[in-house]
Amino acid sequence: MRVAVVRFPGSNCEPETCRAVERAGGDAFYIWHRDTSLSDADAVILPGGFSYGDYLRSGAIARFSPVMEAIRSHAKAGGPVLGICNGFQILCEAGLLPGALVRNAGLKYLSRPVDVRIERTDTPFTSAYRAGQIIRIPIGHGDGRFVAPASLLDQLEAEGRVVLRYAGAPESDVPSNPNGSVQDIAAICSASGTVVGMMPHPERLADRVLGSDAGQGVFESLMRYPVTPVPDPSPRFS
């Protein structure tokens, strides 16, 4: 499977995201934010980082990058799209996912492992997990508090569009919800389930040598996903 990893100025998780895809057997390659084509990618990942320094609002400026049009049509055609951390923020700013990610309730950037419960296993990025399974993967963000109008929240819950929820080990001395996200939401998906945004970083704990590969399932799920090549409307460079 061909997986495009999009580089915005200030993205900084591209290499490890590619490694995770390749470890799962995929073929990962970079797409520069100025490109207007996805070069026949079967799936697109918007990696973590600080696109445009997160200046103004996380993801606010990146959403205008030329590549976003191609991603939009890829998503519209049902192609899988994953936004991780800053990628999730960009997808929300771009309106490809609903809601918004704002400053953590604790007002501090937070880098720590979190336990998240797999709420949905029928997305292209979670099928390798068991429903209800709890995995421990890292977060690293200052703007990770998911917010949305009440009506939208009800809709998300009704349509089962919460993909990951923060869950905690009872004995732990830290709150299970690290950032104050409403209803402990750590990841959501589009109505179709094919566009997923998550705050935690599965690519950072996807290798046993580092102590755990709990996150690798996200990329293995993608490999299992049957892709019908998405026609690429926009003209191609190179």
Residue 178, classed as helix, strand or coil, is coil
Kindly tell me the sign of the dihedral angle through the C-alpha atoms of 203, 209, 211, 217. positive
In the complex, least distance from residue 228 CB atom to another protein, rounded to whole angstroms: 31
In the complex, least distance from residue 112 CB atom to another protein, rounded to whole angstroms: 5
Which of 124, 140, 135, 204 is CA-nearest to residue 165? 135
In the complex, least distance from residue 23 CB atom to another protein, rounded to whole angstroms: 11
Residues 94 and 60: beta-carbon distance below 8 Å: no
Strand partners, 165: 117, 185
Residue 220 annotated as catalytic: no
How far apart are the C-alpha atoms of 35 and 68, rounded to whole Å?
Answer: 9
Which of 80, 46, 26 is CA-nearest to residue 206? 26
Triad 53, 216, 76: Cα angle to 5°: 65
Residue 201 annotated as catalytic: yes
CB 155: neighbour CB atoms within 10 A? 14
Which of 33, 93, 201, 220 is flagged as catalytic? 201
Using the minimum distance from each CB to another protein, give the nearer residue, 92 or 195: 92
Residue 185, classed as helix, strand or coil, is strand
Interface contacts to another protein, rule CB under 8 A: 9-10, 12-13, 15-16, 19-20, 48-50, 52-57, 60-61, 64, 92-93, 99-100, 102-113, 138, 140, 142, 147-149, 169, 171-174, 180, 201, 203-207, 209-211
Using the minimum distance from each CB to another protein, give the nearer residue, 206 or 230: 206
Which of 85, 119, 189, 220 is flagged as catalytic? 85
223's tokens: 């490999």
Amino acid (one-letter) located at 178? P
Using the minimum distance from each CB to another protein, give the nearer residue, 122 or 183: 183
How far apart are the C-alpha atoms of 71 and 101, rounded to whole Å?
Answer: 20
233: left (phi over 0), alpha (psi -120 to 50) or beta: alpha
In the complex, least distance from residue 18 CB atom to another protein, rounded to whole angstroms: 10
Residue 203 annotated as catalytic: yes
Using the minimum distance from each CB to another protein, give the nearer residue, 12 or 73: 12
In the complex, least distance from residue 204 CB atom to another protein, rounded to whole angstroms: 5
Using the minimum distance from each CB to another protein, give the nearer residue, 193 or 215: 215
- What residues are annotated to the active site? 85, 201, 203
